[in-house]
Amino acid sequence: MLRETGAYPGDGTGGPVMDGVRRLVAALGDDDVTTSRALTIASIGDYGGRTQFTGDGSAAHPDLHDRDVLAVLPFQAADDRFVVPVYVMTRNLARTYGGAGGPARFDLPEERYQLTIGGTDAARVRASAVDPLTGAAVPVDVVRRTDDGWVVVEMPVTDSPRLLILDDAAAGPELP
């Protein structure tokens, strides 16, 4: 289009992938980070026990579970905010799931995960999540906050990134 018209096609013609990238960039924001901090992932729990592939039952070749390939990639977006893409890194791109037809048949069904995260102000942190491909909110529950700085969150995850947003700004009331 640029060659024919001399103009860029605009935001509306980039399609869903470009919309997802735009939402990711928007979630990261453009705030300055003046105090560097690191998040720590202490544990990952799941409830379904799904596997990427089955081992042979020996200690040398165990099953590879979805939780074993869960990507948790924290980015500090501001002094008091982190954006954490979370997704299952699937190994078999040709695997189909359930009765879905069309391209959706390759989408890993949602599975609920529990993440124990350190490095936030656990007493104040607010957790939310969004699917950058659709723009839809993703439910996140803060399950527990510990006195020694850990927060435990639960959320549904699939094989496309969900953005977990952890905000521990000093403004606002302390949360339960």
Q: What confidence tens digit (pLDDT) does each residue in 37-79 have?
A: 999 999 999 988 888 888 998 999 999 888 999 999 999 999 9
pLDDT band, residue 17 (cuts 50/70/90): confident
Q: What confidence tens digit (pLDDT) does each residue in 83-96 have?
A: 999 999 987 777 78
Residue of 161, 141, 137, 138 whose CA lies nearest to 151? 141
Contact 160, 134 (CB under 8 A): no
Contact 173, 128 (CB under 8 A): no
Cα–Cα distance, 29 to 6 (Å, whole number): 30
Q: What confidence tens digit (pLDDT) does each residue in 93-124 have?
A: 777 877 667 777 888 889 999 999 999 999 99
Contact 117, 153 (CB under 8 A): yes
Residue of 62, 156, 63, 140 whose CA lies nearest to 108? 156
One-letter identity of residue 10: G
pLDDT band, residue 9 (cuts 50/70/90): low
